[in-house]
Structure 1
Amino acid sequence: MPVTLSPAPDILLCHGSPSDDDVFLLEEDGGSHFHPSSEKQIRHKLGSAGAGLTLCGHTHTPRVVRLSDNRTILNPGSVGIPRFGCDRQSGCPLCPCHAQGHTMVVQPSYGQL
């Protein structure tokens, strides 16, 4: 499986980061906990990837980040395996509305998604 996939113009999918499946794109590993990456850290991990919408995973932690250049980075979380103390599944329905800055992560009770 490729490290990245681009299913549509201006959309990039990756598991960890565009260059490394094992690197958290939106979080930093603090040992016993994770903390959000800064925009500078995220830009560094994105490298030359310039998609308007990048979908990542790896941490199973839902988070949406809008960079100062209006690119959106989205980790929808996990439908099947919530982690890190989260007892809710999460997901993100995608539509063209993301281009206008409207991205939504839903977190129903486990088993309802």
Structure 2
Amino acid sequence: MRLAAIADIHGNAAALEAVLADIAAQGIAPDSIVNLGDCLSGPLEAGRTADILVPLDLPTVRGNHDRYLIEHEAGKMHSWEADAFRQLTPAHLDWLRALPVSRVWREEVFLCHATPADDQLYWMERIEPNGVVGLKPRAEIEELADGISQSLILCGHSHLPRAVRLSDGRLLVNPGSVGCPAYDDDTPYYHRVEAGTPMASYAICERQGGDWSVSFRLVPYDHMSQSRLAGRNGRASWEAGLATGWLG
């Protein structure tokens, strides 16, 4: 079994197109791509991203930013959602409403956005009070996987490509972010997540015998066009992150 996992597109249609082309070049068909959510929010091209994604009918789970788009009132949205909402049609929003919070793909792969019970909690990362982003202890990571029988577990949310082998052999994989390589947040403490590269990230997972392997792929694309778009839309942190993979 071989599949491609994408996550955290955040309305970056140019990055999505580059990743889909790279996936096809690896010989992976669209019916073997899974999408881990946070699809549209951001100051880029939410509508065009939705127009690409919806017809593909990929197995997709709902991320926290997808949820914000359908739960928050139009005048009370965060900036990422407000920027995207103006571009979305009722059909786009209906597609978001229909997404599950988790799902099992082909009986062997568990999909969620962040963790099974909380779409805003990093699964593998811990934030220190001083803002340092590090790896959680394995026991904490494994506790969040209780009750999941699948041998491959896929999540997104942190935008950082990472894999952790659990003590029972299950593999937990975050493919990184297709469209947003750097951001900051204040929960639970102020911190920055910076990939250090503007390239679009995704993962290829393959089972050979009883074991899963993972390859992370970083795909170049015209990231400066998206950086300039974010700048024109008044989002300086996005402009910097898309240009370099750093916030400054």
- What interval of TM-score do these two structures reach, taking the shorter chain for normalisation? 0.7 to 0.9
Distance 2:145 2:126 in 1: 14
**Which structure ranks higher in relative contact order (CA pairs < 8 Å, sequence separation ≥ 6)?**
2
**Deviation, structure 1 residue 79:** 1.4
**Deviation, structure 1 residue 98:** 8.7
Shift of the 37–80 alpha-carbon distance from structure 1 to 2, 3 Å rule, reads same
Distance 1:10 1:101 in 2: 11
Q: Is 2:55 the partner of 1:55?
A: no
**Equivalent position to 1:74, from 164, 173, 184:** 173
Decide which structure has greater helix share. Answer: 2
**Deviation, structure 1 residue 58:** 0.4
- 5+ long unaligned stretches in structure 1: none
Once the two structures are superposed, the pairs formed by residues 37-48 of structure 1 within 5 Å of their partners are 37-48=136-147
Identity between Structure 1 and Structure 2 (%): 29
- Matched length: 111
**Equivalent position to 1:30, from 123, 128, 131:** 128
CA RMSD of aligned residues (A): 1.9
Report the more deviating stretch, 49-58 or 79-88: 79-88
- 5+ long unaligned stretches in structure 2: 1-98, 183-192, 223-248
Who is 1:106 aligned against? 217
- Deviation string 1:38-90 (CA, Å, 9 cap, x unpaired) is 21001112231221000000001000111121100000001111122222321
Who is 2:105 aligned against? 7
TM-score by length of 2: 0.41
